[in-house]
Every structure is written in C-alpha cells, then in structure tokens.
Amino acid sequence: MTINTPLVNGTSYCTVTAYSNDSFEKTVEFYTRFLELEQLAEFSNKEAAILSNGIISIKVSLSVDAAKQSAVEEQIKQLESVTKTKDWRSQVSQTLVFNTSDIFSLQDALSTLEYPSQSYPSSINPMELYTIDPLGNIIGVTSTKNAVSIKPTKSSNSPVSVSSTNTDGSLSKNHSFTDLSYRMKTTDAYPSLPNKTTTAGKKSIAVMTSGGDAQGMNSNVRAIVRSTLFKGCRSFVVMEGYEGLVKGGPEYIKEVSWEDVRGWSTEGGTNIGTARCLEFRQREGRLLGAQHLIEAGVDALIVCGGDGSLTGADLFRSEWPSLIKELVDTNRISQEQFQRYQHLNICGTVGSIDNDMSTTDATIGAYSALDRICTAIDYVEATANSHSRAFVVEVMGRNCGWLALLAGIATSADYIFIPEKPATSSEWQDQMCDIVAKHRARGKRTTIVIVAEGAISADLTPISPADVHKVLVDRLGLDTRITTLGHVQRGGTAVAYDRMLATLQGVEAVNAVLESNPDTPSPLIAINENKIVRKPLVESVRLTKSVAEAIQAKDFKKAMSLRDTEFVEHLNNFMAINSADHNEALLPADKRLKIAIVNVGAPAGGINSAVYSMATYCMSQGHKPYAIYNGWSGLARHESVRSLKWEDMIGWQSRGGSELGTNRATPKDADMGMIAYYFQKYQFDGLVIVGGFEAFESLHQLERARDSYPAFRIPMVLIPATLSNNVPGTEYSLGSDTALNALMEYCDVVKQSAASTRGRAFVVDVQGGNSGYLATCASLVVGAHASYVPEEGISLEQLSQDIENLAEAFDRSEGRNGFGKLILKSTNASNALTAEDLARVITAEAKGQFDAKAAYPGHVQQGGLPSPIDRTRATRFAIRAVDFIENQQDTIRSAREANDDFTADDKAVSGTAAVLGVKGSHVVYTSIRQLYDYETEISKRMPKVIHWEQIRAIADHLVGRKRVD
C-alpha cells in the first residue's frame, strides 16, 4: 500500500492493493475494512482492478476530515495488515485466471464502490474492473456482470484505447494498449497451464484406466502423461486397471515417455488396458496394490474410470494408512518407504459412457456413446420407414437413463424408458400406446422406442425390450423388431467433446496432484457448467451412491435431482416436444400466440432441430408456429410464410442443412417495408431467428426499425447457429459442435495419410470467418503441430519456429509410424498466405527432409447430420426461445399501450429483442442493443471478448509447440 501524499485536510491520494490469490478470506476481509474506511473518509475517485493473476486492487482518492485523520490512519493500518507484503510483481503471471464464484461474491462488496464510466451507460454496466499488467498499466476492462477480463494477445500491433472517467465526468485515464484484433477473455473455465518445474524433487505420477472402456480415455492418458513430463516429473501407466496394481512389477506399472502416447487422441478404447478386477474389491488385493505402487516409487495415482472405479479409489485412499502399516509390520515395505509414502495422493477423472457419476455434468465417453446410439437409430430409421416398422432399441447406461434420454431427444424417439422416471405397468403401456398411435395416425411410418438397460417400472421390476415389444405387437399390431446396440456404443473414436473434456481434465488432474498436500481432500476432476473443477472424491462417491439408494427407496425425484444439472430440463423438453399437439394445449386461449421462425445465414448443424423443437413445443403450449421460408428475401419477394404442421416435420430433428431454406440477406437487403407489411398481415406475436452473424445483424435492424414499423414491436429472439461460433452474447452457437466433429474426422483421415507417407505435413484450411474457435478446438482434439488463427495472425518468427519444430519432430521420428503432422490455418489468419502458400514455404524450408501439402475440407465443415450435442442443445434453446417470447408479452404490450412513439431506448423494452446465449451451462438473454453497441467488433463480425484462449495454450503445450513471444 502506498500513500502518495501525507494525509492532511483536503484530498489525498492513496493506493491500496489486496492480493486475492493468497487467500480469498483475506481479500474479503480487505473489502470489509475498505468499506469501513469509506465511513470515515470521502472517496472522490475510485478504481477497482483485477490484476493479471487475479489479484484485486483498489485505488482511491480520499478527502479526510482533520478530526478523523487518526482514525483513517488506523484504518489504513488495518488494511495493511490484510494486504500481502511480498513483492508481488515477481509473481504476476501473464495469464489471468480467477475463480468466477469468488468474483461474484466480491462483486457485492465492489458494487458499493460504483465506478462510473462514460463508455458504458451505468444502467448496463454499473462498474468496470480493470486488468492491470505487472507494471501497473491497464490492459483490459472487465464487466463485473460477466466477470470476464480482457488482455491483449502477445503479438499484437493495433492500438486499442480504453478511457475511464471520474465521477465528475473528467477524464481519469486514457490508455492505449496494443491488441491484435480482439481481446481474449480468460476465465477459470479451463485448467491453468502447468508451469514447467525443475526436476528437483521429481515426483512419479501414474495413470490407469478402469471399469468399462470409454472413448476419450486415451486422450486423458495422453494429456496426463505429457503434462506430467512437462512438469519435470516421471510418468507411469498402470496396465489393465486395478488388475495391474494387484499384479505389479514393471510389466504392469510401466514408465512412459512423451513419444509413447503420440497420436493417442485419435484412437478409441484405452491403450493401457482396463479390467473389472474382483481381487481389488478384497482388502488383500488392495494391500498388494499399495505394495506394488510403493515398490514402483509412484507418488501419485490418477484413476480414469466410472463410479465403481472411483468408489474403489476412495476406499483405497481411506484404507491407505492401515494398508501401509500392515505392509511395514509384515516387512513387505521398509521403514523408509513407510515414512515416504504416508499419504496416498490420488485423483479421479471420470471415464464412463454411462454419465452416472454425481457432481460432474459429463463423464468422458458419454457423448461419444450418445453419438454411436444416434447414428445407429438414424440408420434404423431408414429400414423402419421402408417396412413401416416399430423398433425397440436397447441402450447401455447401467442404472442411469442419461443416454436413453438424450438419444430420445436427439432422434425424436416416440417413447423412452429410463430408471429415473418409472411408471406403473399399466401407466406406461397406456401412455406409450397413446403417443405411438397418435403419431401413426398422423402418417408417421416409423416408431422408435428407446429402453435404457436399467429401465424399471414403479415397483422396481425391470422393463425389458421384450416387454415393450409385446405391448407394441399385442395392443397396436405393429410389426416390431428389437435392436440391442451393445458394445458398439463403446466403439470407435471419441467425439470432439470427449477429446476436449478428457484432455482438459487430464491437465487439471496433474495440476491437482502436484498441488495437493496431506490435508487436501483427494479430488475428482469434474465438469460443472462447462468449467473444469475439482470436487472432493469422497463426496462425489457418496452422492453417487445416494442415487442408487434413492431409486431403491422409490424416491425418484431425488434420484433425478442428483443427476447432472440439465437432466430434469431435458426430460421436460422431451415430453413437451414428443407429444406436440396431441393433447389439450397447456396455455389458456388468451395466452396463445402466433410465433414466426426464420433461418438466416449459412447452414449449420442443429438448425432443423431448433425449428422442429420450437414448432412442436409451440403446439404443446397452444401457440401457432409459422415458418418463413428462404429467409428475408423469401418473405419480401414471395410471401413465403406457412404455418407449420406436425406431419410436415417428421424426421427434421435429425436432419442436416436447413429445411426452411436460408440465405445471408438481412431485412434491409431484402426490403424492410415488405417484411413489416407481412408481419402486420400475419399478426405475429413473436419472432425466433436462427442463424449466425447475418441473423445478429437482422435482429439489430428489426429492433432499430421498431420506431418506424409497429409490426416489429413484438418480442424477438435470436438462436445463434453458425460454425464460426462468433455470435456475440454466447459462448456456443449451434452448428459449432457438428462442424468441429466434421473437421476432426477429416483431419484424422488426413493425418493418417501423412503418417503413412512418412515425412509429410498437411496444412488444413479451416473455415470460421474471423473467428479462430474452430481451428483452435480442432488443433486440441487432433493434436495438431500448430494452428494459426485470425486473432493472432501469422508472424514470420512463429512460422519459422514452427518449421524448425517440425524438422526436429521428423528427425526424431526416424521413419516410424505415427508422425503424421497437421497444421491448421484459419482461412483469415493471413491475407497474404493461403494454406497452399504455407505448404510451399514449409516444403522449401524443409530442404528435402519432409514436405507439406495443403488440404481444403471446405463446406464439408458444415457437417452432414447434426451432432447429438447440437440437436439436444437446439431443443433446449428453442424451448427457451419460446419461453422468452411468452415472458416478454406483458412488457411489450404495456410499452405499446403507453407510448405511440415506441421508446425502444427504455432498457426493459430494448430487452425484448435479445440474443439467447449460453454461458457455462446457463442460458442467458442479452439485449441486441447492449451487444451491438458495446460488445461487438462490427467490422470484424466478432464479439469483443472471446473465451477460449486457454485452449490454445493447452493445445500448444500438449504437442510441445514452442511459442515466439
């Protein structure tokens, strides 16, 4: 803390800094003291800042009354006592990583220090936090609402200025900082990159896979091995799960190197073997396990497995003291070993297709298994349709219904059976037959019923596919077949989501074991609301067990609540869309609306699913859904509006492309007047736009046109859908997952070709406009040697470094397989260099040692069928969009009634035209005004803040890419 001028009557300037990375409690105390100080002195100028490693700083100018001077000085001393005294500059890292929940708690305290700003209306952003570099320069501004921070990229060169103002409006700071194109946001969503440590005190970290194999386990092992080595530690794998521990020795507990896991991300199953090991369930088995770990000199064990494996891990942890005591007492380990291995440093990463572990939203493998199920059902649909048959499809999941539920939504199945929502035998029979019969009566030629392998009726009796088959045949006379998908569900390579999840969790698991001390509870690495987090293993195991107990006690509500955070919402969504208008509408007649939907921009996976879900949900609510075909130009030129009928949309949930037709014209391009005319004619009460940046532009234009055209004075909402994932207001757009998977599959094939050719690299040209999201995520999931994105550009220094790295890698390969190299280049990463040019440059520089070729996946990146993630998220978004239109009716009505000149400047009214987005797992709505005016780099068609910088760092780190700063 510095007091720049002595405290005297009048204004004195005082800088106070709190170091929140040290202790959160300390920081809270700091604020409390700070607020007390505010009671004693008048603050005329306040600045709150988040430093670049999460440290909080506050600067104030104090006007001190002479009578209170000593009290103020005393209070400042108190403040000093909760302020870290070490020289913090040496500790400040360049990466900002802070815990969002901490920030949210701190906001309450911070909001009392309202920091006014002219660049953001205070009603929108009551306060800004500043990111400050180690030398005290402001390098970014943060909205406390989003708890995001902004920092410039390293190779930046275009100046961006940030100004802040005092309470009286005078300029307080005007900073220019260089920022290449956009500012990157780093939150705690991703694990921090491990810092390289020295080999002093080298630890040995082992990883094993256990239980049923799951796609993505190999990515997890690869990330753990490489992060371990990067940290200067020794890396081991335990072969064959717990069996390897029980058997022990170098054959089962093997030391591995960086090269041993090369290319593993693209391989299915688990390359280090897995097993269901009976001996480990016995104490003697665990005793042997402990002995063998100690003999191998392993300090920490990371277990990738399902609920069973992690239950075993938890038991092993709790028994450890007694196990080593017995080992030393029976001379199976030495006193020295006994002393050294006092604590079992253990960590779980959840790998299982079942998604049945409490406290994590997704387990590694679950989305890949879902993908296999949806692909199989999409296939079955074709034959079912040909014969007009019913199919009962049994899916895995043990006692969890997640796979069946999500597959039910993604394939618009007619009926599902899951353990969490059982019915009595007569209830389910009647309900299923009623729904299937209604679907058939409306012309549906296929019937798909999904049965989770753990399905039960309300009295806990298992429901088998044969039971369901019998009812469909006996009561409905349907030609019915049973398809048991079996182990196909665990087959094939991991989808992109699982590769990312497994990789990020692997990196975090190594961080966790290295940071742990004997007092740290053993962690499980989970994903919550899209953030990689640590949970106490013991608690996760306890909660998981309580799901089974709740089902046994027939407390199904509790069982469901212990599943992942979206489970109940998914179930309600499934029920709402699958019965459409077959029953009495839910809303009374006066609440029923006419809602239009339109697709704008390029096709993206999930667009049809959004239309289908929106329309069927509207029907179940009692609304009338209208489709605008062929975008705004279709409407303006051909009045292409039709009300959507259930029977017209059969199969749309799973279909790629856009059934309604889409193009890039905005309302202004098409004809604003004609569009308003048709809105008036059809008396729409709400509008849902599905699309990317042109859809965003469209919403902006319509909202601004409300003053001139009363027909647009209705709630309007945008569902973001574009593979570029560049729509402001959301971290995720429909279609980006489909595109990522399409690109990933393409890259896997190209990489295989490169590996077989030996000495070859491919430069893959990646779509995405000015957004490097797709190239960045793809580089992580395919293990690309390097990626170039528009946000960073291509510097000659980095390019030459990458070529040098490439030469080194090919040198090391000595002609072995597995050395296919990929470089991903966003088309817009450079205006000067195409993928072709890059390939030529690399070939020339390689001087015959290797060569490079360009590869252009082009529009293949739009994907064929939408991925299950895009389908199920489309359903969630569409239903939320209709809810939004319902909820905004009163606001818009009173605004219409109150004012002939529609005052869209009013915040509540402008909020009725919004972008629906996802932040973490939360669906949020942000007004188009706020986004367009303050959060968008219009010329670049990009949000000002992007959230995935850390993925780039991790992708680079796992392939050993050297960066030129």
The residue among 308 and 772 lying less far from Mg ion, judged by its C-beta, is 308
Q: Is there binding between residue 354 and ligand F6P (CB under 6 A)?
A: yes
Q: What is the chain's Cα-based Rg?
A: 30
Tokens in use for 628? 């605008």
Instruction: Please say whether the beta carbons of 850 and 761 come within 8 A.
Output: yes
Per-residue tokens: 875: 């359903």
407 and 868 Cβ atoms separated by less than 8 Å: yes
Our CB check for Mg ion shows the closer of 306 and 422 to be: 306
Phi/psi at 114 (5° precision): -50, 125
Q: Which residues contact 769 (CB under 8 A, 6 or more apart)?
A: 693, 724, 726, 790, 828, 941, 942
Closer Cβ to ligand F6P, 364 or 436, answer by number: 364
Q: Tell me the CA end-to-end span of the chain in Å, nearest whole number.
A: 32
Out of 120, 236, 242, 264, point to the residue binding ligand ATP (CB under 6 A): 242
Smallest gap from Cβ 343 to ligand ATP, in A, equals 19
Contact between 306 and Mg ion (CB under 5 A)?
Answer: yes
For residues 183 to 222, the per-residue mask of contacts with ligand ATP, x marking binding by CB under 6 A and - elsewhere, is ---------------------------xxx----------
- Minimum distance, C-beta of residue 312 to ligand ATP, in the bound complex (Å): 3
Q: In the complex, what is the shortest distance from the CB of residue 516 to ligand ATP, in angstroms, rounded to a whole number?
A: 22
- Annotation: binding site: 212, 276-277, 306-309, 352-354, 389, 396-398, 453, 481, 487-490, 664, 722-726, 760, 767-769, 853, 859-862, 941
Cβ proximity of 469 and 156 under 8 Å: no
Taking the C-alpha atoms of residue 799 and residue 796, their distance in angstroms, rounded to an integer, is: 5
Q: State the nearest-atom distance from the C-beta of 217 to ligand F6P, in Å.
A: 12
CB of 306 to ligand F6P, least distance (A): 5
In this structure, are residues 600 and 694 in contact, taking their beta carbons and an 8 Å threshold?
yes
- With CB under 6 A as the contact rule, which of the stretches 16-24, 152-160, 347-355, 948-956 interacts with ligand F6P? 347-355
What are 222's two structure tokens?
């690869």
- Pick from ligand ATP, Mg ion, ligand F6P, none: which does 397 bind, CB < 5 to 8 A by kind? ligand F6P
Subset of residues 471 to 530 that bind ligand F6P, contact rule: CB under 6 A: 490
Residue set of the binding site for ATP: 212, 276-277, 306-309
Min dist CB 266 to ligand ATP, Å, is 21
277 binds, among ligand F6P, Mg ion, ligand ATP, none (CB under 5 to 8 A by kind): ligand ATP
Q: Select the residue interacting with ligand ATP from 47, 188, 354, 697 (CB under 6 A).
A: 354
- Catalytic one among 213, 299, 354, 802? 354
Indicate which single residue of 127, 147, 327, 353 sits in contact with ligand F6P (rule: CB under 6 A). 353
Instruction: Name the nearest CA neighbour of 17 among 49, 44, 46.
Output: 49
- Is the Cβ of residue 247 or residue 398 nearer to ligand F6P in the bound state? 398
Contact criterion met (CB below 8 Å) for 565 and 529: yes
Q: Which partner from the list ligand F6P, Mg ion, ligand ATP, none does 396 bind, CB cut-off 5 to 8 Å by kind?
A: ligand F6P
Token code pair at residue 117: 């700003």
Residues in the chain: 965
Selected binder of ligand ATP within 215, 219, 266, 352 (CB under 6 A): 352
- Tell me, what DSSP letter sits at residue 471? H
Q: Segment 643-672, which members bind Mg ion (CB under 5 A)?
A: none
Residues touching Mg ion, count (CB under 5 A): 3
Instruction: Classify burial at 878, counting beta carbons within 10 Å of its beta carbon; exposed 0-12, middle 13-18, buried 19 or more.
Output: buried
| CA distance linking residue 689 with residue 662, whole number of Å | 11
Residue type at position 844 = A
The item of Mg ion, ligand F6P, ligand ATP, none sharing an interface with residue 242, based on CB under 5 to 8 Å by kind, is: ligand ATP
Structure tokens at 786: 């390097």
Contact 265, 499 (CB under 8 A): yes
Q: Checking DSSP bridges between strand 345-350 and strand 300-305, what pairing results, if any?
A: parallel
For residue 408, give the nearest of 586, 567, 213 by alpha carbon: 567
Beta strands (DSSP E) in 591-685 are 594-600, 624-628, 641-643
Pick from 116, 126, 194, 212 the residue near ligand F6P by CB under 6 A: 212
Q: Pick out residues in 282-321 that bind ligand ATP (CB under 6 A).
A: 305-309, 311-312, 315
Which does residue 453 touch among Mg ion, ligand ATP, ligand F6P, none (CB within 5 to 8 A, set by kind)?
A: ligand F6P
Structure tokens that stand for 563 in this block: 């599943």
SS (H, E, C) 108-167: HHHHCCCCCCCCCCCCCCCCEEEEECCCCCEEEEEECCCCCCEECCCCCCCEEEEEEECC
Please identify, using beta-carbon distances, which residue of 453 and 748 lies nearer to ligand ATP: 453
One of 244, 268, 269, 308 touching Mg ion (CB under 5 A)? 308
CA of residue 913 relative to chain centroid, distance: 25
**Is residue 523 within the footprint of ligand ATP (CB under 6 A)?**
no
Q: Least separation, in Å, of the C-beta of 113 and ligand F6P? A: 52
Annotated binding site for beta-D-fructose 2,6-bisphosphate: 664, 722-726, 760, 767-769, 853, 859-862, 941
Cβ 472 to ligand F6P shortest distance, Å: 24
Structure-block tokens of residue 18: 């709190």
Rounded Cα distance, 670 and 653, in Å = 29
Q: What is the DSSP letter of 252?
A: T
Is 180 or 410 the residue whose CB approaches ligand F6P more closely? 410
Strand partners, 206: 236, 301
Residue 557 token pair: 């509500």
User: Given the complex with ligand F6P, which of 396 and 806 has the nearer CB atom?
Assistant: 396
Q: Does 453 bind ligand F6P (CB under 6 A)?
A: yes
> Binders of ligand F6P among 294-313, rule CB under 6 A?
306
CA dihedral 266, 267, 272, 277 (to 10 degrees): 120
C-beta closer to ligand F6P: residue 353 or 946: 353
**Residue-wise burial string across 760-775, b where 16 or more C-beta atoms lie within 10 A, e elsewhere:** bbbbbbbbbbbbbbbb
Only one residue has tokens 């009716």, namely 889
Q: Judged by CB under 6 A, which stretch of 346-354, 669-677, 678-686, 897-905 contacts ligand F6P?
A: 346-354
Report the partner that residue 534 touches, choosing among Mg ion, ligand ATP, ligand F6P, none (CB closer than 5 to 8 A by kind): none
Q: How far is CA 468 from CA 406, 452, 539, in A?
A: 20, 12, 37
Give how far Cα 862 sits from Cα of 276, 335, 751, 945, Å: 40, 62, 20, 24
277 contributes a contact to ligand ATP by CB under 6 A: yes
The sign of the dihedral angle between the CA atoms of 936, 941, 943, 944 is negative
The site partner of 765 among Mg ion, ligand F6P, ligand ATP, none (C-beta below 5 to 8 Å per kind) is none
Q: Is 354 a catalytic residue?
A: yes
The annotation places the binding site for substrate at 352-354, 389, 396-398, 453, 481, 487-490
**Residue 309 touches which of ligand F6P, ligand ATP, Mg ion, none (Cβ within 5-8 Å per kind):** ligand ATP
**Of ligand ATP, ligand F6P, Mg ion, none, which one sits near residue 348, judging by CB under 5 to 8 A according to partner kind?**
none
Phi-psi bin for 152: left (phi > 0), alpha (psi -120 to 50), beta?
A: beta
Does 667 interact with ligand ATP (rule: CB under 6 A)? no
Cβ atoms < 10 Å from Cβ of 683: 10
Minimum distance from residue 241 beta carbon to ligand ATP (Å): 6
Picked from ligand F6P, ligand ATP, Mg ion, none, the partner binding residue 408 (CB below 5 to 8 A depending on kind) is: none
Chain residues that interact with ligand F6P, rule: CB under 6 A? 212, 306, 352-354, 396-398, 453, 490
Chain residues that interact with ligand ATP, rule: CB under 6 A? 210-212, 242, 276-277, 280-281, 305-309, 311-312, 315, 352, 354, 398
Which residues are identified as catalytic? Answer: 354
Chain residues that interact with Mg ion, rule: CB under 5 A? 306-308
